[in-house]
Structure formats: structure tokens, C-alpha cells
Amino acid sequence: MALARDPLVEARKQLRSAIEILGLDDEVFEALAEPERVIQVKIPVKMDDGRVRVYTGWRSQHNSALGPYKGGVRYHPNVNMNEVIALSMWMTWKNSLAGLPYGGGKGGVRVNPKVLTPGELERLSRKYFEAISDVVGPDIDIPAPDVYTDPQVMAWYFDEYNRIKRGQYFGVVTGKPKDLGGLEARIISTGYGVAVAAREAAVKFLGGIEGKTVAVQGFGNVGYYAAKFLAEMGARIVAVSDSRGGVYNSKGFNIDDVMAAKKREGTVARYEKAEKRVGALEILELDVDILVPAAIEEVITEENASRIKAKLIVEGANGPTTTEAEKLLSERGVIIVPDILANAGGVIMSHIEWVNNRMGGWITDEEAIRKLEAKMSENVKRVVNYWEKKLSSKRPLRDAAYAIAVERVYKAMKLRGVI
């Protein structure tokens, strides 16, 4: 299956739809279709063998009407500027929809981190953050982990920024290790939020989560924790996959057992207790109640939409469903809980960490998780309520989420006198 490779086109289509629903002028679309700033940086890294390799990185700062930019940094060999811009735009809507005092930002470095040694990864991370250090900060732009970045990378960012600025700015990044002001709950937060969103949607549209069959495409951090918590909520996880393939078992999997096999074998595709193997993308078309795409963007397309059997799709990844595919699925009555709603758990927890840092420590991990669950549950109900009262049932749930998010940003820009 050929994948479209410009998520920025999708992001702008989604924005256009929200602008039309709200009855706003084209000038508003123009003001929001482009980021406020995009930075491209050159990152020379001395490798362990003495050679110097040069990598390219970006930071996109989409909109700051609601507050400082907020969004993760990803390391991936296919990262490009348009992807980073699209992701920063999605972060604007995600933060707005969640009611957070943030605008949208996103960063990326075009690199395969799997082939780097720990020392090379550290030097790359420090050089990248040094290159963007003048345009980030606790009140300016607050990066966080994303694809192939983690608390250790955030620790290097934190230390490099404080070295350059000669201070102790704990709020410059979130997703840090606990010993540097982070919350342990941050590592589970996105996946847990996806599980809560799936549970709330299942209660509304499927009669509950208990016993419902689930397929999870993408078994990284988000997919693993979404599967783990959905299983604890009573769902049956019958299929999981990663980039190398997937497995199916009608009775359901022990998720921790599958993760142990992945760590041991390098992929879930070799898990020995599976009834059958499935392809990395074939998993999307299995006959399940709930599908959780939690890997990369644009895997559900016009080409495979007719073969998708799930009644409920909960987007753990950013932009996994194209506009054309969503239209086809919505017309069939498939409910899609959009990414800006479903996977907002990470940034909600990041906000809790950021506030905690600014106040000098005020919350436990258990309290943070309870706040996250309450926020996710409230947000799902608010979007569904808007969708039921103001939109046609043939329109996707995403339209309601975007209308709420874009309207809040628009009002903030208007109050500031930007538009």
C-alpha cells in the first residue's frame, strides 16, 4: 500500500473543515494554516570513530495565542519539515481542546537513533538543543519526548539548556526523569489517556468496554500502555503489531508477556503464543470492536477504509487516518476518536509536570494520574456532546473536536488583536 507522505496537506484539510463549520472568514484560515516560525538547524556530530556526520533538525512553532509553544521532539530517518509543521499544528489543536495554556510546537531530527551509540545519541541531542536554545524556554517553548526520544534525552536537553543559560530552569522540558523534576506517570500518560478515551467512547457507542475486542497497531510506548490499561479495564486485546509484523489470538493476550517477548526477540511478530501471524498493516483490517492505530500517520487511507471492520477507532498516533478515509468510515457509522482528543494524555501530564516545576513540587504521581483521567473523560464527553447537538451524525467526531479547538484559538487571537 502506497502511503501519502505529506501530513501537512491533511492538517490543512482538517483546519479548512473546522473554519467552514464555525463560519469564519478565509483570513482566519490563512492566519492558522502556516506556523509562526520554523527553524531548520544543522547538527554536526562527532561519531565514536572520529568522523563527523551532519544531521538536519527542525523546530516548528505554530501558534502562541493561548500560551508558550508545547510539543515533542522526534528522532526518525523519515522526518521532514512539512511533517514537523503538521505535527505542530495538531499540537495547537490538541492543547486548545484539552483546555491547556499552551500553543503548538513540534521538533524533529532526521536520524535513525537505533544505529547510534549512547555517546553519539547524547552528542546529537545536546547539539540539537544548543541549536534551538534561543527560541525555547519555560515561558517560550517547552519540548517533550516523542518518537524515539525519552526521559534520558530530555535530561540531556535540560542540562544543555541550563549550561548555556547558566541557571536551573526545570520547566524548559517535560517528560524528564523523576530525579530532575519529572513525574513517573509521564511515561504511561499518553497510552493511559488513549485507554480512558477508548473506554469513554465504548461506553457511549458500544455499550461498555467489558469484553470488547481490541487490535493495537504499533506496540511502542503508546500502544503498549494503551493495550495494558484497556486489558485492565476489561477489554480483550486480540492483536498487536509493530513495524516488523503482528500476532493474533482470539482469546486475548497477556500484554506484559507480549512486551517481554518483544524485548527478547526484537519484535512482537515472533511471540510464540499467537494463533496466527498478521502483517504490520493487515492488523488494521481485522474483525474487532476497537482499533487503536498507535504507530505513524496515514495508515488508514481511501484504499483500505472499506476493509476496516472495527466499529470504533481510537487514534493513539498523530494523523493515522486520511480525510478521505475518515469520510468513508463516518458514512458507514464508524466512530473515530481523533488524535487531538485521544492521545492528549501526554501533553496533559506534561502540563501537570510543568506546573509542578514552576511551583517547586506540589503533586504525587497518583494525584497526577487521577487528574489526567478526569481531564480525558471530561474532554471526550464534551466533544461527543458538541457533535450530537451541533453536527450531523454523518460527520466525523473530529469535526466537533476541531471546531472546539479552533474556536478557542480564534477567540484568543481576536482578544489579543492578532486578527
- What does the alpha-carbon distance between residue 214 and residue 291 come to, in Å, rounded to a whole number? 6
Give the list of residues 6+ apart from residue 153 with CB closer than 8 angstroms, or none: 73, 75, 121, 125, 145
**Which residues are known catalytic residues?**
106
Give the list of residues 6+ apart from residue 387 with CB closer than 8 angstroms, or none: 395, 397, 399, 400
Quick one: cell of 3?
A: 502511503
- What does the alpha-carbon distance between residue 334 and residue 340 come to, in Å, rounded to a whole number? 18
Alpha helices, DSSP H only, in 3-80? Answer: 7-22, 26-33
SS3 content of the chain, % helix, strand, coil (to 5): 50, 20, 30
CA–centroid distance for 228 within its chain: 18
- DSSP secondary structure string, 206-255? TS-STT-EEEEE--SHHHHHHHHHHHHTT-EEEEEEETTEEEE-TT---H
